[in-house]
Structure 1
Amino acid sequence: MSTPTAAPPPRPSGVREVLGYNWPLYAGGLSAVAGGLALAPRLGRVPAALARTGALAAAALLASSTAASWWVYDRSELYSLDWLTALVPDGPGDHLVISTGLDEASPPLGLRYPGTGQTVVDLYDPALTTEGSIRRARRRVPPRPGTLPGSPSRLPVATRSQDTVFAVFAAHELRLAPDREALFAEITRTLRPGGTLVLVEHPRDRANTAVFGPGAWHFMPRREWLRLAHGAGLYSVTETRIANLVTAFAFRRSAE
């Protein structure tokens, strides 16, 4: 008799899912393109040129953001975790994965590091994580069994119990600075001396602004992540770039 095998984890979100999570934004962009092109023939020469320019700019932004999402989420090493060895060369040990409505980090971490202790905490709260895309993503990818609910000011994890904390595309969903500050303070509390926070984010920088346009303002600048980490008593260890659009930071708690 053959032994049943466990079902493989779901495929992490790619450009198809990104479109689904953010369809109102894409629908608005397509409407701007169609509206500008439809209005242009009815306008004077200068307004028509402006309408066509606006439509072309909207079309270019839709194309560049879609291509960037495909490059990062479908083609890069993001979910293979090949970049992680440079940040935690000895492995993550007992680790905490923090999500804010969409957890796609814990399955690949569990596969790459079997036998390590893993805890997943979800901070999803409609009052704090206000983006409609998060609600739509959460409906498609519900929390894994055993996921613990938490809040930025209360992670249900013992003090100094974690070797590594992962926050992958999670912290920027906390739109208020006090919530982010509370979360970083809690992360420091849960880390053992010498433990590491691995923070993965799109920073608001030139590269992301070039491809995502105004959408890049949903991201936080690099200086904000450095401010939060240093304010919580963590120091920078290293950074690595993924697909030229994502930065993985490693912050370390001092070995007291």
Structure 2
Amino acid sequence: MDSVRKPFQGVWNIIRFNWHYYILSIFLVLFILLLQKSFNQSFKVAANILALLIISSTLITLIVSLYIYDFSKLYTLTWLSNLKQGGKETIININAGFDETSSLLKRKFENSELLVADFYDPEKHTELSIKRARKAYPPFPNTFRISTKHLPIEDSSADKIFAILSAHEIRNEKERIAFFNELQRVLKASGQIIVTEHLRDTANFLAYNIGFFHFHSKATWHKTFHSSRLQVAKEIKITPFISTFILEKNGSAS
């Protein structure tokens, strides 16, 4: 993948990887508008309101996504200035089948060793969007496959571990805790884990309506971190819709 993001790449990816949802919305609106001709006046008003809600909800989602993925600082990585700075480091970037950040991290930490891991499992991660994304974008060179239960990496060997918009795909709580226990195991005592996610909160509900159920709540993330012997050293709001947790091993946060 090209390390330079193209204009409107973020929102365009959302549309082309989830086009079936937008086609369904269009057909649903057309069906409502056609059907309302046979309704009485009260039902016509209700039908028009429903069609308007579907259209406005879809537009709001796309506008917010355009802001987050194309106009915010999410992919500039300027927010990484909050991290501990070292010399040549071992950095691990973990994705869930779609990797938009490894090339950016490689350029940001050009003097460090970057390892890229992919925990995508076609039996668990059956979303059409991920399958389409994997076809559209080849993996970062030398990406290796892992499971959420085991990272083939030595103990206390990583200076920084990134999980950017990927860890929420681990839906099962026990599996998610086991995954973060593995991250804790391979992290150096002075290292940091950077988890960037949407949250199941008011802002994301207003932006994505019922789609916000795909995200985990802040309380859920904190429970996961605590159960994995990690603590939040800092929380960053990149946008009102995106949160980054900088994690360290218990007892090492400053």
TM-score, with structure 1 as normaliser: 0.92
Instruction: Report if aligned partners of 1:168, 1:199 keep a CA contact under 8 Å in 2.
Output: yes
Deviations 1:128-166 (A, max 9, x none): 222111111111112112001000001121111101110
Q: Distance in 1 between matches of 2:58 and 2:2?
A: 33
Instruction: Report if aligned partners of 2:103, 2:140 keep a CA contact under 8 Å in 1.
Output: no
Matched, 1:95 2:91: yes
The partner residue of 1:84 within 80, 85, 91 is: 80
Matches within 5 A, 1:67-216: 67-86=63-82, 88-90=83-85, 93-216=89-212
Give the CA deviation at 1:192: 0.7
Matched, 1:11 2:35: no
Q: Which residue of 2 aligns with 1:244?
A: 240
Give the CA deviation at 1:119: 0.5
Give the CA deviation at 1:47: 2.4
SS at match of 1:119: strand
Judged with a 3 Å threshold, the aligned counterparts in structure 2 of structure 1 residues 91 and 131 are, in CA distance, closer, same or farther, namely: farther
Instruction: Report if aligned partners of 1:128, 1:175 keep a CA contact under 8 Å in 2.
Output: no
Q: Which residue of 2 aligns with 1:46?
A: 42
| AA in 1 matched with 2:177 | E
Judged with a 3 Å threshold, the aligned counterparts in structure 2 of structure 1 residues 19 and 171 are, in CA distance, closer, same or farther, namely: same
Matched, 1:33 2:32: no
Q: Distance in 2 between matches of 1:223 and 1:30?
A: 36
TM-score, with structure 2 as normaliser: 0.93
Q: Distance in 2 between matches of 1:72 and 1:39?
A: 36
SS at match of 1:14: helix
Q: Distance in 1 between matches of 2:86 and 2:11?
A: 29
Q: Which residue of 2 aligns with 1:57?
A: 53
Q: Distance in 2 between matches of 1:16 and 1:250?
A: 29
Deviations 1:36-74 (A, max 9, x none): 222112112232222211111110111000001110111
Judged with a 3 Å threshold, the aligned counterparts in structure 2 of structure 1 residues 69 and 94 are, in CA distance, closer, same or farther, namely: same
Q: Distance in 1 between matches of 2:135 and 2:200?
A: 27
Judged with a 3 Å threshold, the aligned counterparts in structure 2 of structure 1 residues 125 and 141 are, in CA distance, closer, same or farther, namely: same
SS at match of 2:152: coil
| AA in 2 matched with 1:11 | R
| AA in 2 matched with 1:166 | F
Q: Distance in 1 between matches of 2:44 and 2:2?
A: 53
Instruction: Report if aligned partners of 2:102, 2:140 keep a CA contact under 8 Å in 1.
Output: no
Q: Distance in 2 between matches of 1:194 and 1:226?
A: 20
Instruction: Report if aligned partners of 2:194, 2:247 keep a CA contact under 8 Å in 1.
Output: yes
When the two structures are aligned, how many residues end up with a matched partner?
Answer: 249
Q: Distance in 2 between matches of 1:145 and 1:113?
A: 16
Q: Distance in 2 between matches of 1:79 and 1:14?
A: 10
Give the CA deviation at 1:91: 5.2
- Report the aligned-residue RMSD: 1.7
| AA in 2 matched with 1:113 | F
| AA in 1 matched with 2:145 | P
Unaligned runs of 5+ residues in structure 2 are none
